[in-house]
């Protein structure tokens, strides 16, 4: 089935509900995302909700996706958010950021829409020696850790991607991110899940282990915490909108400028 269709989103909804191992992993991730959100005024918007059940963890969550879909409230473009300035206390997403064709556009919109103290919390594919093997050889989405830009061709909202994008922006090119978006401070980058998403089969493949083994594999990954920076397949990234009230950036340093800073 073509990935860029509402029918594909429906299949993902069914996978998240019916695959016990995957469902438990997402429950863990959603609990972490909910814990990242600040109290106080402002809505929380989930981007790329698809088959998400994050609303069980975040009351009054606004669900959205790039395509109209029966289980989401709003169809929108994450790089052109239809929310007033300073109106949100949270933007949250799981496996979505690497699909944005214009990462700068999203980050500028986050600066505009989040209130001071508001949070972006995301769980994204991450680049490690182990994940390079998996994403290059066992995953269908593009994986380009050597990409020289933060963009990829638009036109395929679900299948178009670069699985290395979050690592590029928040690790490899972190100096450029901090220079271009000083309002968004990186609170945490936490490596996650070297094995469990793979064992769950993701949303597209059969699980490689029964659901009752979830606790065992969570224990294995806990024991491996000291070496997760070399093994993780995902990372939880938390950005906080600063209190400084600086203007939304209109430009961004080029890759050449970023390299000059490093050298």
In the chain the first and final C-alpha atoms are separated, in Å, by 47
Give the per-residue pLDDT at 256: 32
CA 135 to chain centre: 16
Give the per-residue pLDDT at 101: 92
Q: Let me know: does 122 contact 92? Beta carbons within 8 Å.
A: yes
For 6-262, which CATH class?
Answer: alpha beta
Which residue matches tokens 């088959």? 51
Give the per-residue pLDDT at 10: 64
Provide the residue ranges of all domains of the chain, joining segments of one domain with +.
Answer: 6-262
Give the per-residue pLDDT at 262: 36
Residues 6+ apart with CB under 8 A from 254: none
Give the per-residue pLDDT at 96: 94
Per-residue pLDDT of the chain (263 residues; tens, 9 = 90+): 445 555 666 666 667 778 899 999 999 999 999 999 999 999 999 999 988 899 999 999 999 998 887 778 999 999 999 999 999 999 999 999 999 999 999 999 999 999 999 999 999 999 999 999 999 988 778 899 999 999 987 665 666 789 999 999 999 999 999 999 999 999 999 999 999 999 998 877 888 999 999 999 999 999 999 999 999 999 999 999 998 544 444 333 333 333 333 33
The SS3 assignment for 190 reads strand
């Amino acid at each position: 089935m073509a990935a860029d269709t509402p029918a594909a989103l429906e299949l993902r909804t069914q996978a998240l509900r019916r695959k016990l191992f995957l469902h438990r992993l997402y429950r863990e991730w959603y609990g972490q995302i909910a814990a990242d959100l600040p109290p106080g005024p402002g809505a929380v918007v989930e981007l790329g909700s698809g088959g998400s059940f994050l609303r069980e963890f975040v009351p009054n969550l606004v669900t959205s996706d790039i395509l109209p879909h029966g289980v989401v409230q709003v169809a929108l473009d994450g790089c052109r958010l239809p929310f007033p300035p300073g109106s949100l206390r949270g933007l949250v997403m799981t496996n979505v950021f690497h699909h944005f064709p214009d990462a700068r556009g999203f980050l500028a919109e986050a600066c505009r829409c989040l209130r001071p103290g508001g949070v972006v919390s995301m769980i994204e594919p991450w680049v490690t020696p182990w994940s390079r093997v998996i994403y290059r050889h066992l995953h269908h989405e593009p994986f380009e850790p050597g990409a020289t830009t933060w963009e990829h061709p638009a036109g395929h909202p679900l299948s178009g991607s670069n699985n290395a994008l979050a690592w590029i922006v928040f690790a490899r090119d972190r100096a450029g991110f901090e220079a271009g978006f000083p309002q968004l401070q990186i609170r945490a980058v936490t490596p996650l899940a070297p094995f469990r998403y793979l064992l769950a089969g993701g949303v597209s493949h059969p699980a490689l282990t029964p659901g009752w083994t979830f606790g065992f594999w969570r224990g294995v990954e806990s024991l491996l915490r000291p070496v997760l920076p070399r093994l993780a397949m995902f990372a939880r990234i938390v950005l906080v909108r600063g209190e400084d009230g600086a203007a939304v950036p209109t430009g961004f340093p080029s890759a050449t400028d970023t390299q000059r800073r490093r050298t």
